[in-house]
Amino acid sequence: MSDATRLAMPALPHAPGDRLEVVSTWNTETPYQSWRPQILVPASFRPAVAPVTYVVVNQKGGAGKTTTTVELAAALAATDLRVRVIDADHQEAALSRWLVPQYPAGEPQRSLRSVFFDECALAEATYPTLFAGVDIVPSGLDLMRVEYERPIGAEQTLAAALARETEQHGGPLYDVTIIDAAPSLGLVTVAGLTAADRALVPLGVGGLDLLGLQSLHRTIRTVQDKTNPKLSVAGVFLTAWDKSGFARQIAERVALDYPEAVVVPVRRSVRAAEAPIAAQPVRLYAPESATGADYAQAAGILLAGEMT
Ligand SMILES: Nc1ncnc2c1ncn2[C@@H]1O[C@H](COP(=O)(O)OP(=O)(O)O)[C@@H](O)[C@H]1O
Ligand SMILES: [Mg+2]
């Protein structure tokens, strides 16, 4: 598929008043009714420099992993970065249904599973989407085979595939790679954590959303100890944010749990909920939505460079 036929990501309409304020500490004294959502960027935070690999993890379904993957990819592609998203969720494969891979006619259709079983290189399982600057490694239900056949070295497969690709190509093929993890802490998720430089944790703002954080913490620490010492948690996204006292309590709690991470309240919008059905990033489907704007702002903070 030629680049000319792909849809470019639009610039966002400029409504400066609608951008979230960026602060380095939250004033937790203000009553929640008058507390506006603010992006927390700790003074110690350093933006990533491309090439960088992110993994979007939370073992809870519906936390906003796939939305976070798609919107960050769209925001980064809008600034002419080359972005690859990797669907690592066999249970839903929602990413592959949202950003539909454009398979060339008459060739075998590869997927992330093919990479885990050494059937092809990562680049051979990477396909264009309809959106300029965003390519995808798709997945389907058969990725589940990795969990029960446990091919030797599976934990290292993605990290090794990325390293091999960079070496063979004489440099990275993509500026940013974003791995959309499954709602589990299984082998494929550990492979994603092992391959990534930085983890991003989306979190719904409900009581049950907090309960899983301890086991996610433990898994990240184990990966840091055993397979990927460079891994850090760069961001927490409070997805489908609403203005409630409880949302704010959760925000304060995650800021304590992840003192090194940017914390981004992502505002809820109906248009964001509709975008997967329309098979378009929110940024394209509804450029005016606060959800797309919040992700674009976050992308600009996470990565060094100019964002629009
Ligand atoms: N900011 C938002 N506003 C409205 N709906 C959202 C928002 N973020 C996510 N959603 C919706 O919440 C649901 C779960 O999000 P999703 O990204 O699929 O989570 P996960 O990948 O963690 O399972 C989806 O229906 C999605 O459209
Ligand atoms: Mg998902």
CATH assignment of the domain containing 110: 3.40.50.300
Query: Is residue 43 domain-resident?
Result: no
**Most informative mutation of 67, 95, 99, 201 for ligand 1 (most atoms within 8 A of CB):** 67
Does residue 11 lie in a domain region?
A: no
- pLDDT, mean over the chain: 92
Question: So what's the pLDDT on residue 94?
Answer: 95
Q: Looking at the domain assignment, is residue 141 inside a domain?
A: yes
Which of residues 27 and 102 earns the better pLDDT score?
A: 102
In the sheet where 127-128 sits, what is the strand order? Answer: 21-23, 38-40, 262-267, 232-241, 198-204, 52-56, 176-181, 83-88, 134-137, 127-128
Look at residue 251 in the predicted model and tell me its pLDDT.
87
* pLDDT class of 243 with cuts at 50, 70, 90: confident
pLDDT tens track for 161-198 = 999 999 999 999 999 999 999 999 999 999 999 999 99
pLDDT band for position 208 (cuts 50, 70, 90)? confident
What pLDDT sits at residue 214?
Answer: 85
**What percent of the chain is predicted at pLDDT more than 70?**
97
Q: Does residue 46 sit within a domain?
A: no
Q: Of 110 and 36, which is predicted with more confidence? A: 110
User: Quick one: average pLDDT of 47-61?
Assistant: 96
Between the CA of 183 and the centroid of ligand 2 the distance, in Å, is 7
* Ligand 1 binding pocket, CB closer than 6 Å: 61-67, 94, 183, 239-240, 266, 268-269, 272-273, 276, 291
∠ Cα 294 280 63 (to 5°): 55
- Cβ-based burial of 147 (10 A; exposed 0-12, middle 13-18, buried ≥19): middle
Q: Which ligand is located closest to the Cα atom of residue 59?
A: 1
Which residue bears the tokens 């989306």? 202
CA of 162 to the centre of ligand 2 (A): 22
Decide if pLDDT at 218 tops 60.
Answer: yes
> Comparing 31 with 262, which gets the higher pLDDT?
262
> Residue 76 domain-assigned?
yes
Nearest atom (ligand 1) to Cα of 276: 27
The pTM (predicted TM-score) of the whole model is: 0.96
Give the pLDDT mean for 125-152: 97
- For residue 206, the model assigns a pLDDT of 73
Rounded distance between C-alpha atoms, residue 237 and residue 43, angstroms: 18
Residue 23 resides in a domain:
no
Q: Which pLDDT score, from 0 to 100, does residue 2 have? A: 67
Instruction: Supply the pLDDT for residue 105.
Output: 95
Is pLDDT of 226 > 90? yes
Asked if residue 283 belongs to a domain, the reply is yes
User: Does residue 2 form part of some domain?
Assistant: no
Residue 33 has pLDDT above 80, yes or no: no
123: left (phi over 0), alpha (psi -120 to 50) or beta: alpha
Question: What's the mean pLDDT in 37-52?
Answer: 95
- DSSP symbol at 206: S
Which of the given ranges, 3-7, 123-127, 204-208, has the highest pLDDT on average? 123-127
Query: By C-alpha distance, which of 64, 132, 58 is closest to 94?
Result: 64
Choose the residue to mutate in 239, 243, 266 for probing ligand 1, maximizing ligand atoms within 8 Å of C-beta.
239
| Number of domains composing the chain | 1
Look up the domain containing 103 and give its range.
51-301
| Torsion 19-20-24-27 (CA) sign | positive
Establish how many alpha carbons lie within 13 A of residue 26's alpha carbon, considering only the half-sphere containing its beta carbon: 25
Q: Tell me, what's the pLDDT at 306?
A: 60
pLDDT at 16: 55
* pLDDT number for residue 56: 98
E-strand spans in the chain?
21-23, 38-40, 52-56, 83-88, 127-128, 134-137, 176-181, 198-204, 232-241, 262-267
